[in-house]
Amino acid sequence: MATKIIKRKELGFWDRTYLPAVGLGLWITSRHFFRNMAVHALHLFGFAKNLRGAETYQYPEEQRPLSKRTRTRHRLTKREDGSPRCVACMMCETVCPARCINIVAKENPDPNIEKMPASFDLDLGMCVYCGYCVEVCPEDAIRMDTRILDIAAYSREGMKLDMQKLLNP
Amino acid sequence: MFTEFLIKAGLALFILGNALNFAGLLTWVERKQSAVMQDRIGANRARIEFGSKWLSPVNWILGPLNALGIFHALADAIKMFAKEDFMPRGADRFLHTLAPAISVVFALAAFAVVPFGDVWHVGGRLVNLQVSGLNAGILFVFAMMSLGVYGVILAGFSSNNNYALLGGMRAASQMLSYEITMGLAVMGVVLCAGTLDLQGIVRSQSALWGFATQPLAFLLFMTAALAETKRVPFDLPEGESEIIGYFVEYSGMKFGMFFLTDLVETVLVACLVTTFFFGGWQVPYLLPDGFHFPWGAAVALPHTAVIVLGVTAFFLKVICFNWLFMAIRWTLPRFRYDQLMDLGWKILFPASLVNTIVTSVIVVMKG
């Protein structure tokens, strides 16, 4: 096996005084400082709104822009008459790796459609947001595009969504 | 006699108030400056707002201060006072309480000889804008800074904690090593000025500021003085984030006093660097009767205006140096202990010796 010997670089005189490195570091940080201060000052007078003085998003007041394909909280889509599009085929329940979907099917009164869900329960506490349920759905009945990210509850029960909540996010 | 006393008390209050204000504000500056340097916004959630309607003008004034997050310093202080004051079992009660007081008192006492203005003729009196016009001011400053070591080592010693003791010893060795360099570096300035009086040193810089005549001494003094303040890159004694330092066993306002000492020392070092190397209260081209520019223009100014300009210039320079020290603190990583000692004893100490010898030779040659 070929061995590659890496020669350790000896520190020169200036390296050992630390001065050039310190100067370079100060130059970089001061550049950031003065650039950001200038941008903040311009913002104060209403100029240069397209520049950002800081990378921070002040979260609860200011939401970070989300990508179009970000997977967020689920919703069930509706037909024109307001009934769920879901036909209770159990595809999503089957594919779900976290087993967080639980569907109980019943007969659909419409003769053209076979089934519909009697209940559609989704446990967000278990969901891994993989999006398989959306991909697998043949009826485009479940989507993950509500843009709701701040999901929190005081109990495990609170994390469970029933069909009502899924239909009206 | 009584008026003299009142004047001195007023000067002392002025410089003490300024030092403590600067130190308090530095906690805010530290947060905000580091944030701006790192493309962040920084702490801005501590806010004071009044609910009642007829206090809304006050709210209007507080608004910008709230947005700047300036009340975080106040929130810090409240937190420090409200926290439990923990005393470890087996600790020396007396020394454990005394140590932070020693630290902060000696750091503040050193401000007594810092001249922040020229002699002010007011109401037929000569007021020297310096709390104590000691003719050996430099020795006083170094004495006070050396005594600060006691606070550190007592904190480590009285805590009944091996790690605190080790931290205290690290701190003491670091401070003693760098004090030698600091003293020797300033000797260059003393040789140039021919006096140990700080006011005299400032006066001697009327034509050329100290950093131009003593550039090496400036660098050495600043490095050593930064090491004295025990902040990053020389924060081995404290190691807030990972190494255990001498104030492990301190909490509440006692810890706050150590924290304050660092900031007071930063202000002190800024004052000293200004005094020794950046002309103290000297303003470029400003003579006691007004501006005299080299291209011939002259602006006559009344005496009081000159004094006020001088004091403003002094504090502006101090602010600039505080900015620089904060920038250094948020730029550089921490030294290793062997690097620290190597730097102190193998680079800074010989360099300061050479600087002193060369300066004395030049001073003697010039006669």
pLDDT digit string, tens, across residues B28-61: 999 999 999 999 998 888 888 888 888 888 888 8
Domain co-membership, A144 together with A85:
yes
Cβ separation of B36 and A25 shorter than 8 Å? no
Domain count for chain A, please give it.
2
pLDDT at B19 over 90: yes
Closest A-chain CA to B348: A17
Q: Is residue A23 domain-shared with residue A84, that is, in the same domain?
A: no
Under the banding of pLDDT at 50, 70 and 90, the label for residue B361 is: very high
Give the list of residues 6+ apart from residue B144 with CB closer than 8 angstroms, or none.
Answer: B106, B107, B109, B110
Span B219-240, pLDDT tens digits: 999 999 998 888 878 888 777 6
Asked whether the beta carbons of A117 and A106 are under 8 A apart, the reply is yes
The tokens for B313 are 């210039």
Do A86 and A36 have their domain in common? no
Q: Where are the beta strands (DSSP E) in B133-282?
A: none
For residue B37, list chain A residues with Cβ-Cβ distance below 8 A.
29-30, 32-33, 36
Q: Does B343 touch chain A (CB under 8 A)?
A: yes
Which pLDDT does position B128 carry in this prediction? 87
Q: How does the average pLDDT of chain B come out, rounded?
A: 90
pLDDT score of B126? 87
| Single-letter amino acid code for the residue at B153 | I
**Residue in B with minimal Cα distance to A29:** B37
**A12-18 average pLDDT score:** 83
What residue segments make up the domains of chain B, in order of their start? 92-366
Shared domain for A38 and A84, answered yes or no, is: no
The answer to whether residues A91 and A140 belong to one domain is yes
Predicted pLDDT at B294: 85
**Burial degree of A120 (CB within 10 A; 0-12, 13-18, 19+):** buried
Domain identity same for A87 and A38: no
In a domain, A80, yes or no: yes
Average pLDDT on B16-21 reads: 92
Backbone φ and ψ for B292, nearest 5 degrees, come out as -130, 100
Domain identity same for A138 and A91: yes
Range of the domain at A84: 75-167
Indicate the SS3 state at residue B297. Answer: coil
- Is it the case that residue A72 has pLDDT exceeding 90? yes
Q: At B109, is the pLDDT very low, low, confident or very high (cuts 50, 70, 90)?
A: very high
Does residue B317 surpass a pLDDT of 90? yes
ipTM: 0.87
pTM confidence score: 0.87
The pLDDT-based confidence of B121 (bands split at 50, 70, 90) is confident
Does residue A17 form part of some domain? Answer: yes
Angstrom distances, CA of residue B206 to CA of A98, B199, B202, B281, B300 = 78, 11, 7, 10, 18
Letter string b/e over residues B134-173, b meaning 16 or more CB atoms within 10 A of that residue's CB? beebbebbbebbbbbbbbbbbbbbbbebeebbbbbbbbbb
The DSSP letter of residue A98 is T
Residue A50 has pLDDT above 90, yes or no: no
Based on C-alpha coordinates, what's the Rg of chain A?
A: 28
Query: Is there a single domain that holds both residue A79 and residue A132?
Result: yes
> Is there a single domain that holds both residue A29 and residue A92?
no
> Which of A11, A18, A34, A37 is the best mutation test for B, with the most CBs of B within 10 A?
A18
Q: Which of A17, A19, A56 sits opposite B41 (nearest CB)?
A: A56
* A108 and A37, same domain (yes or no): no
User: How many angstroms separate the CA atoms of B70 and B47, rounded?
Assistant: 8
Secondary structure (3-state) at B229:
coil
pLDDT of residue A15: 84
pLDDT score, position B313: 94
pLDDT at B356: 94
A30 within some domain: yes
CB B329 within 8 A of CB B232: yes
- Is A19 in the same domain as A82? no
Do B96 and B165 meet the contact criterion of CB atoms below 8 Å apart? no
Higher pLDDT, B1 or B172: B172
Q: By C-alpha distance, which of A155, A138, A147 is closest to A74?
A: A147
Same domain, A28 and A110: no
Q: What is the pLDDT of residue A101?
A: 95
Cis ω for the linkage preceding B100 (within 30 of 0): no
Distance to chain B for A49, nearest Cα, Å? 16
For residue B357, give both structure tokens: 């010898």
**B304 vs A11, A169, B198, B258, B308, CA distance in Å?**
55, 71, 22, 38, 6
Question: Smallest Cα–Cα separation from B274: which of B240, B216, B319, B226?
Answer: B319
Candidates B41, B219, B330; nearest CB to A29:
B330
A16/B347 Cβ within 8 A: yes
Q: Which of A11-20, B41-50, B151-160, B235-244 has the lowest mean pLDDT?
A: B235-244
